[in-house]
Structure 1
């Protein structure tokens, strides 16, 4: 009889002691993992819809304009200040927004 009382008390204590760890995992998921997954999903979607003529930034920080898209080997040719460079489509990080181009004085 006393054994069953002690076992019930120990299971309740073990559940209560695990609660902070479960809460930390939940916080990690909602603050770190989920937003990162959403960013990756948007980046993949952007990479699949790139068009010739848009200005982009690669993941290595190179700025340029897409001059050629080759769907066969999944590459793009980007024209930079140094010339034309061939990149994998997955190396394109983001599009330069039009608001940055309008703020530049000529």
Structure 2
């Protein structure tokens, strides 16, 4: 027998747990980097987009996911809006397909005509002074 058998050197029992931690440490660090550079900013962007879609109202100028620019003519329900893309041309668009709001309108006053006339008188008085 000219060839002697080779035996593997046994690892110590106490060093096995620490060795396992050092082998998983790079994977844990990669996950942390991915979380802060990719996952967290994407979640923030999704939250902002959802808030923007919830705030869409009549008169807002929007861009759809297909690139069509139009003005919101009517909010039909929670899932769709009616958009005027040209004079007299209205299309229904799913709210989720709105990619951007170009310009916002001021919120409508929720009062009666008498209150509106009183507000106009106050502004006229301020202008006179």
**TM-score bin, normalised by smaller chain:** 0.7 to 0.9
- Following superposition, which runs of at least 4 residues in structure 1 exceed 4 angstroms of deviation? none
Structure possessing the higher radius of gyration over alpha carbons: 2
Superposition RMSD on alpha carbons, in Å?
Answer: 2.1
Contact 2:61 2:69 in 1 (8 A): yes
Partner of 1:76: 81
Alignment of 1:49-88 (within 5 A): 49-71=55-77, 74-81=79-86, 83-88=89-94
> Which structure 1 segments of 5+ residues have no match?
99-106
TM-score, length-scaled by structure 2: 0.65
- 2:31 pairs with 1:31: no
Equivalents in 2 of 1:74, 1:43: separation in Å?
15
The count of corresponding residues between Structure 1 and Structure 2 is 94
Equivalents in 2 of 1:96, 1:48: separation in Å?
15
Partner of 2:95: 89
Larger relative contact order (CA 8 Å, sep ≥ 6): 1
